Amino acid sequence: DTGVSQDPRHKITKRGQNVTFRCDPISEHNRLYWYRQTLGQGPEFLTYFQNEAQLEKSRLLSDRFSAERPKGSFSTLEIQRTEQGDSAMYLCASSLVYGELFFGEGSRLTVL
């Protein structure tokens, strides 16, 4: 499969724990995006990378959130000290510059 892959697909955690999500983009894509989607809403932009550089971060990305893309390949999104309000689907997408976005299947986070 040469699409965008995300891992894990579903994570259940207790409030206060740290979680990390991984995204592997389509191999030739130099842009990578993270979005968050809550029930009944459209996805909301969190951040994006061009190669290894993080070029923009949304105000939604509080200090507890950090994203990296070492060497411009895969990316990780870490949430520290999770809160119940963090429960959502975290979607990763990739694209070429000026290209169409391709999304992964998402990582669903449930914080108890």
Partner 1 sequence: KQEVTQIPAALSVPEGENLVLNCSFTDSAIYNLQWFRQDPGKGLTSLLLIQSSQREQTSGRLNASLDKSSGRSTLYIAASQPGDSATYLCAVSRGSNYKLTFGKGTLLTVNP
Q: How many Cβ atoms from other residues are within 10 Å of residue 103's Cβ?
A: 16
CA distance 35 to 40: 15
- Which amino acid makes up residue 52? E
Report how many residues bind partner 1 under the rule CB under 8 A: 27
Give the shortest CB-60-to-partner 1 separation in angstroms.
12
Distance, CA of 36 to CA of 60 (rounded, Å): 9
> At 76, which amino acid appears?
T
d(CA 10, CA 110): 8
Nearer to partner 1 by Cβ, of 42 and 70: the residue is 42
| 112 contributes a contact to partner 1 by CB under 8 A | no
What single-letter amino acid sits at 55?
Answer: L
Nearer to partner 1, 80 or 101 (CB): 101
Q: Which stretch binds partner 1 (CB under 8 A): 14-22, 63-71, 79-87, 98-106?
A: 98-106
Judged by CB under 8 A, the chain residues 71 through 90 that form the site for partner 1 are none
Q: Binding to partner 1 by residue 105, rule CB under 8 A?
A: yes
State the amino acid at position 24 in one-letter form: D
Where do contacts with partner 1 occur on this chain (CB under 8 A)? 4, 6, 31, 33, 35, 40-45, 48, 55-56, 91, 93, 95, 97-98, 100-106, 108
